[in-house]
């Protein structure tokens, strides 16, 4: 889909410089919104090559460390004192929680600083908008890249967890997909938030009062029903809890398919609403 100078029929002068002959572009007059998302996507992939180490640490190493320390280290205590959680060895209880949480963390990490940076500091979005891309392309392109990152992190974790024996059932493959969906549910809505930020002060609050409490209380390390009754509904509305519950059922091999379908529908709703909010937010911030 890219048009180079040669295809545009540029002339060559004897000195070798090219002069375009009048055709401006091989593209249709106004591209459909989203049609050019692929260009934005490819850009973010190129950026990834530079920052892969940091993401490897937070998206690959960190979840494995949590699995090791909590699933197996702490698991020794849990299994000894209560025979696991409702009979499930603690490592197998924790692994799906960490999987879903990793998807969430990856999405949150990528949807915050990078997005704000692209608006305000490096201003990549402005550069993209100066061309034929529109705000919808920007959102979809960046969101697609975030989806790829989530998938990489989840696949890597699933493989290692399987080798360590923390995944009890082949249905874990379906669980992997649900975990990716869980991560995707967080991405666009956070992107919408990030694009409106003037400085990174609020990211601190987002992580401290949103991401981390979800990580701690939405069923990753212990069942939500152990929390006081009044807090539990708070957990149920979080995307993470919906993801964790479904993934856990799948990796343990005890799927409640109607419930899983309901959870997934809820997560998809977050994706859809998030995207709409992101389109609106990007348009408001970038197209003035």
Partner 1 sequence: MTARTWAAPVARAIPIPAGAGMARMLVERNARSFKAFWPTIVSGFFEPVFYLFSLGVGLGTVVGDVDVGDGRTVPYAAFVAPALLASSAMNGAVFDTTGNVFFKLKYSRLYDSVLATPLGPRDVAVGEVTWAMVRGTAYSAAFLVVMALAHVVTSWWAVLTLPAAVLVGLAFAGVGMAATTYMRSWQDLDLVQLAVLPMFLFSATFYPLSTYPPSLQWVVQITPLYQGVTLVRDLALGTVGWTTLGNALYLVLLGLLGMGVAARRLERTLLS
Sign of the alpha-carbon torsion through 178, 183, 187, 193: positive
CA–CA distance, 232 with 244 (Å, rounded to integer): 14
Give, as one character, the DSSP assignment of residue 85: B
Q: Which is nearer to partner 1, 1 or 205 (CB)?
A: 205
Q: Site for partner 1 (CB under 8 A): how many residues?
A: 35
Closest distance to partner 1 from the beta carbon of 207 (Å): 9
Residues 193-232 that bind partner 1 (CB under 8 A): 201, 204-205, 208-209, 212-213, 216-217, 221-223, 226-227
Closer residue to partner 1 in complex, CB, 17/81? 81
Q: Rule CB under 8 A: is residue 85 a binding residue for partner 1?
A: yes
Paired residues of 85 in beta bridges? 88
Q: Looking at beta carbons only, is 7 or 76 nearer to partner 1?
A: 76
With a CB cutoff of 8 Å and minimum separation 6, the contacts of 141 are 36, 37, 38, 39, 40, 41, 42, 43, 44, 133
Name the β-bridge partners of 11.
Answer: 19
15 or 226: CB nearest partner 1: 226
Distance CA 168, CA 250 (A): 9
Stretch that binds partner 1, among 15-23, 73-81, 247-255, 275-283 (CB under 8 A): 73-81
Please say whether the beta carbons of 175 and 99 come within 8 A: yes
Judge contact between 59 and 95, C-beta under 8 A: no
Binding flag, residue 131, partner 1 (CB under 8 A): no
Give 109 or 188: the residue with its C-beta nearer to partner 1: 109
Residue ranges in contact with partner 1 by CB under 8 A? 51, 53-54, 57-58, 61-62, 65-66, 68-70, 73-74, 76-78, 81-82, 85, 90, 201, 204-205, 208-209, 212-213, 216-217, 221-223, 226-227
């Amino acid at each position: 889909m890219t048009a180079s100078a040669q295809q545009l029929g540029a002339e060559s002068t004897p000195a070798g410089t090219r002069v375009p002959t009048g055709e401006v572009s091989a593209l249709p007059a106004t591209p459909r919104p989203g049609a050019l998302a692929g260009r934005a996507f490819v850009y973010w992939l190129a950026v990834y090559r530079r920052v892969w180490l940091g993401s490897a640490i937070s998206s690959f190493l960190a979840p494995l460390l949590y699995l090791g320390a909590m699933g197996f280290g702490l698991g020794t205590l849990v299994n000894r004192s209560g025979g696991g959680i409702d009979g499930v060895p603690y490592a197998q209880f924790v692994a799906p929680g960490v999987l879903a949480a990793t998807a969430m963390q990856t999405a949150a990490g990528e949807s915050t600083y990078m997005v704000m940076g692209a608006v305000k500091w490096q201003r990549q979005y402005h550069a993209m908008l100066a061309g034929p891309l529109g705000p919808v392309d920007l959102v979809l392109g960046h969101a697609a890249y975030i989806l790829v990152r989530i998938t990489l992190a989840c696949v890597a974790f699933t493989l290692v967890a399987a080798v360590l024996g923390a995944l009890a059932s082949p249905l874990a493959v379906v669980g992997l997909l649900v975990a990716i969906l869980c991560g995707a549910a967080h991405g666009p809505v956070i992107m919408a938030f990030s694009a409106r930020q003037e400085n990174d002060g609020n990211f601190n609050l987002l992580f401290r009062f949103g991401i981390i409490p979800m990580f701690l209380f939405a069923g990753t390390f212990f069942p939500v029903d152990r929390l006081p009754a009044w807090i539990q509904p708070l957990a149920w509305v979080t995307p993470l809890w919906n993801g964790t519950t479904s993934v856990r059922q799948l990796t343990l091999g005890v799927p409640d398919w109607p419930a899983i379908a309901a959870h997934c529908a809820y997560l998809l709703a977050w994706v859809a609403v998030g995207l709409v909010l992101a389109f609106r937010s990007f348009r408001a911030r970038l197209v003035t």
